[in-house]
Amino acid sequence: KQEVTQIPAALSVPEGENLVLNCSFTDSAIYNLQWFRQDPGKGLTSLLLIQSSQREQTSGRLNASLDKSSGRSTLYIAASQPGDSATYLCAASITGTASKLTFGTGTRLQVML
């Protein structure tokens, strides 16, 4: 059974800092890995999806990488802004159940002025 872990659970950084959020998974037969953002009381917003054949994806100030052999994905946020403050969730699906996601518990990010 796929298990997904995110460390740290919470992170506080000053504005402008570059930061890395970590996600690890136990089953390397991964189909894809998706990163989401969640604001308090809201639904999830998809940020990036990395398919198993890819090593990274970029969108604006965000870059996500995938290393299947080590069971890890990272989300890199460049030049962080107060508007980036939210909870970031990663989710993995495995081959055979391509669309069924297993979620980590998230990293709560606060970017301070």
Partner 1 sequence: DGGITQSPKYLFRKEGQNVTLSCEQNLNHDAMYWYRQDPGQGLRLIYYSQIVNDFQKGDIAEGYSVSREKKESFPLTVTSAQKNPTAFYLCASSKIQGYTEAFFGQGTRLTVV
Matching residue, tokens 């970017």: 111
Give backbone dihedrals phi and psi of 6, rounded to 5 degrees, phi first.
-125, 130
Give residues 26-55 in contact with partner 1 (rule: CB under 8 A): 31-32, 34, 36, 41-46, 49, 51
Min dist CB 79 to partner 1, Å, is 25
* Least CB distance to partner 1 at residue 34 (A): 6
**Residue numbers at the binding site for partner 1 (CB under 8 A):** 4, 31-32, 34, 36, 41-46, 49, 51, 89, 91, 93, 98-101, 103-106
